[in-house]
Structure 1
């Protein structure tokens, strides 16, 4: 599996130690990462990599679980930090069969470049490959970027992950109402009496207003307190290599 399959990078103006804590502590991680509903560390022996269990609520009545192993390097000669993981789900309804990835923490003058590269193998044969390419992989990339921006808001602005989700849902509802209003306006304009004295004005103004409403709903940038995947870098600025830590983890697991 190549680890450049999915790449997301966010620049976070925050403290490196605080970022490490909110990404490495499962109780914090599950709050901001949309991809997981629950993350629990499992008991481990001294010197062994950390094993964990994760669960994702796909539907209100369906939860897909899996297990994994992770390791981290908190002190590196160049001042960066790295963590790596391998994961797998035996659940037959999980499109994701197994995968691996890493996080890198790269301090700079204005904060930390927090980036990830990961890839996975889908199940369900050829059908799974097609479903992954057309739907699941784009969705995973979006969810990762959206989650990284939610984490950024938590560290930079003190907006908790729960509040950030409410902000996003509220803004989504407003945009949906704008689209609904645009559609309703077109219908009402079409139903008006074409013989009325204001008919030419109505017939001209209604489509224009509808287009403006649609553009406002689709193109207006998200509010500063609303997480948005578009704020993250989705393509690596240069060719990347998986960290050596991941190779070591694969040998130990």
Structure 2
């Protein structure tokens, strides 16, 4: 899946816990920013699981698509994997079709939970340009942020809803600190307009230093952060980061 997106996190929790919270659609849609709704469709025993998904692109507008998935719960090496293909015919969907996989790799330092996926953008050449510049980086960030939210749920018991509230609250606090620093610097400089050049230095440090700190300081440990996830495979040719053969056996929905 050369050129596709890759995200990996390490979760210090049991394999069954992570499996259930990623394979059950009601739980999956709680932590994954990329989906608003996921619902399984009835299928015959032994057949790949078919599902529908929805993404809310505007208030009151849900763009829906279909998909098919299959999983390998008992592998000889103790790992698990799942694969999916998806498609969306809605004209407002940026994606036309795609495919991806999840791997669950137990280890002494926790469970490596990783994904690789790729998709085809809509709207021809303009769509491919928008994808490269905007949408693909945004999708990578949303996947990594969601994986860290899942980690907090499995490790600390922080529900996805509570984690989102913390993220919004911390973001608001950082923005308020940055805005307050700029306002304070402006007031400081305005209070002594006739002072020498050296008097502007404290105001400049305040106006630049605080917003920079608000941007660069790492999030609190209980707040989800995309930066905690790997965005590239840890080693070239690593078997755990290669697409599973199961993916090739799935038909496009």
Q: TM-score range, shorter-chain basis?
A: over 0.9
| Shift in Å, 1:3 | 5.5
1:226 correspondence with 2:227:
no
The alignment's TM-score, normalised by the length of structure 1, stands at 0.94
8 A contact 2:186–2:203 mirrored in 1 = no
8 A contact 2:182–2:206 mirrored in 1 = no
1:243 correspondence with 2:244:
yes
8 A contact 1:146–1:227 mirrored in 2 = yes
SS in 2 for 1:249: coil
| Shift in Å, 1:100 | 0.1
Q: Distance in 1 between matches of 2:43 and 2:243?
A: 25
| Shift in Å, 1:139 | 0.4
SS in 1 for 2:250: helix
Structure 1 gaps of 5+ residues are none
The alignment of Structure 1 onto Structure 2 pairs a total of residues equal to 249
Q: Which runs of structure 2 are paired with 1:1-253 in the superposition (5 Å)?
A: 2=1, 4-195=3-194, 202-237=199-234, 238-239=236-237, 240-250=241-251
| Shift in Å, 1:193 | 3.5
Q: Distance in 1 between matches of 2:3 and 2:115?
A: 9
| Shift in Å, 1:35 | 0.4
Q: Distance in 1 between matches of 2:83 and 2:71?
A: 6
| Shift in Å, 1:97 | 0.6
Poorly superposed stretches of 4+, deviation over 3 Å:
199-202
Structure 2 gaps of 5+ residues are none
The alignment's TM-score, normalised by the length of structure 2, stands at 0.94
